[in-house]
């Protein structure tokens, strides 16, 4: 016979608001499992408002790592904790790196998604591949080719349009003198006819591959190698502009190797990095703290001179959080990969150690890119 207490327990239900608050505090891996409980749960979790709220509350960050296998030529995407440790295998792409080590790659993170591009010189042609990846859900989308034209110099900008709440990719192609935009809402490219800024010349247009794009407040930025200026494109208005770098910033020549300017995001601001030609071991990071008035603030990092087995200075690629900056290159020793990081708060340069995990082993791998990403449910 059912007691009153049992009847009360059976009729007790948790309010929807409480359930959502609990879900918003869970990691993506757990939330994905709950989608299979019922159709109402699936509908709730897949709703755009839940995805957006989860992203705004996301505090779990991890490293996204792109690596190439020396022998199989396969591309692997891995993840790891921001304090180092074992790597976890996410996705494998079969055979996109044909002519390693001449392949070039880029990876950029923004609002839960990683944009990865791969360029190889196969049979004398520039073969481009571009992907959008959500490392948390392990979903991947290969962007369609704009057309059949190959063997041309391309430049990608990855950004987020806050006015439309969507990720976008800007593509500039030198030989065609064309500008195109890919939107995650339409999954299609469209040509735009934006007026280029005064002084911009397609014939001199050359972008250093190590100079990634940086998106701040719906504006994507990329360093122009020929003029040492920053090309900016507003995703909301679809207009170009030019930002002058701080006075005195120059490329650095070390033992015949030219080190260009690097652009990264620091504390939600764009920053330009370069080595000091006098001291040779000082890196200057100029942060554009007042965007409207173009006010740059400089910070100095002391970088040890490269050892014999390193051969080159590290260069910054991303900011882990408010205090740390990741550097490249990485060093592989047995089953351990070391990645230099700099803590701006205590002014200390150290190395993060990544080891083989249970699912994946490091031997024969070359780390191409490493970025910090935020866990999210953002769909592709």
Q: pLDDT at position 209, please?
A: 52
Q: Which residues pair with 275 in a beta bridge?
A: 283
Candidate from 33-37, 224-228, 282-286 with smallest mean pLDDT? 224-228
Q: pLDDT at position 308, please?
A: 52
What CA–CA distance (Å, rounded) separates 3 from 133? 53
Phi, then psi, of 97 in degrees rounded to 5: -105, 95
Q: Collapse the DSSP code of 55 into the 3-class scheme (helix H, G, I; strand E, B; otherwise coil) and give the result.
A: helix
Residue 144 DSSP class: P
- Which of 230 and 307 is assigned the larger pLDDT? 230
Are 40 and 141 members of one domain?
no
What CA–CA distance (Å, rounded) separates 77 from 94? 11
Q: Please tell me the pTM assigned to this model.
A: 0.84
CATH number reported for the structural domain that contains residue 77 in this entry = 2.120.10.80
Are 197 and 224 members of one domain?
yes
- Name the nearest CA neighbour of 331 among 289, 379, 365: 365
Mean pLDDT of 372-377: 87
Let me know if residue 354 belongs to a domain: yes
Mean pLDDT of 240-261: 72
Let me know if residue 238 belongs to a domain: yes
The residue range of the domain holding 51 is 1-57
C-alpha dist (Å) from residue 153 to 33, 209, 240, 296, 309: 43, 11, 20, 31, 33
Q: What percent of the chain has pLDDT over 90?
A: 22
What CA–CA distance (Å, rounded) separates 193 from 286? 32
Give the strand order in the sheet containing 269-275.
262-266, 269-275, 282-290, 295-302
Are 69 and 41 members of one domain?
no
Are 65 and 48 members of one domain?
no
- The answer on pLDDT for 105 being more than 60 is yes
Let me know if residue 379 belongs to a domain: no
pLDDT tens, 108-136? 889 889 999 877 655 445 557 889 999 99
Q: pLDDT at position 324, please?
A: 84
- Name the nearest CA neighbour of 156 among 117, 110, 119: 117
Decide: residue 285, CB within 10 A, 0-12 exposed, 13-18 middle, 19+ buried.
buried
Asked whether 275 and 225 are in contact (CB, 8 A), the reply is: no
Let me know if residue 380 belongs to a domain: no
Are 106 and 205 members of one domain?
yes
- The answer on pLDDT for 5 being more than 80 is no
Are 99 and 12 members of one domain?
no
Are 6 and 132 members of one domain?
no
- Which of 325 and 181 is assigned the larger pLDDT? 181
Let me know if residue 314 belongs to a domain: yes
Domain count, the chain: 2
């Amino acid at each position: 016979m059912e007691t009153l207490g049992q009847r009360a327990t059976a009729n007790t239900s948790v309010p929807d608001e409480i359930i959502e608050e609990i879900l918003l505090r869970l990691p993506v891996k757990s939330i994905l499992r709950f989608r299979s409980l019922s159709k109402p749960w699936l509908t709730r979790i897949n709703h755009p408002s839940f995805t957006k709220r989860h992203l705004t509350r996301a505090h779990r960050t991890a490293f996204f790592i792109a690596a190439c296998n020396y022998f199989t030529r396969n591309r692997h995407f891995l993840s790891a904790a921001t304090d180092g440790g074992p790597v976890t295998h996410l996705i494998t792409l079969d055979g996109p790196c044909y002519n390693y080590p001449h392949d070039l790659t880029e990876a950029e993170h923004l609002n839960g998604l990683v944009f990865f591009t791969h360029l190889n010189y196969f049979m004398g042609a520039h073969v481009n591949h571009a992907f959008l990846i959500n490392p948390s859900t392990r979903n991947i989308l290969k962007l369609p080719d704009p057309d059949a034209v190959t063997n041309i110099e391309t430049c990608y900008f990855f950004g987020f349009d806050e006015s439309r709440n969507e990720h976008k990719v800007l593509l500039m192609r030198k030989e065609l003198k064309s500008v195109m935009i890919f939107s995650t809402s339409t999954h299609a490219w469209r040509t735009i006819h934006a007026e280029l800024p005064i002084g911009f010349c397609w014939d001199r247009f050359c972008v250093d591959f190590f100079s990634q794009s940086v998106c701040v407040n719906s504006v994507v930025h990329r360093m122009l190698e020929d003029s040492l200026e920053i090309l900016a494109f507003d995703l909301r208005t679809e207009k170009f502009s030019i930002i002058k770098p701080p006075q005195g910033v120059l490329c650095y020549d070390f033992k015949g190797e030219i080190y260009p300017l690097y652009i990264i995001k620091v504390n939600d601001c764009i920053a330009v990095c370069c080595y000091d030609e006098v001291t040779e071991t000082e890196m200057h990071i100029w942060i554009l703290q007042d965007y409207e008035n173009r006010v740059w603030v400089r910070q100095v990092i002391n970088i040890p001179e490269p050892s014999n087995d390193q051969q080159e200075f590290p260069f910054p690629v991303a900011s882990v959080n408010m205090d740390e900056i990741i550097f490249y290159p990485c060093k592989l020793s047995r089953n351990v990969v070391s990645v230099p990081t700099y803590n701006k708060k205590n002014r200390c340069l150290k190395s993060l150690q990544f080891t083989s995990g249970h699912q994946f082993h490091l031997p024969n791998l070359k780390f191409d890119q490493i970025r910090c990403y935020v866990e999210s449910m953002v769909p592709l």
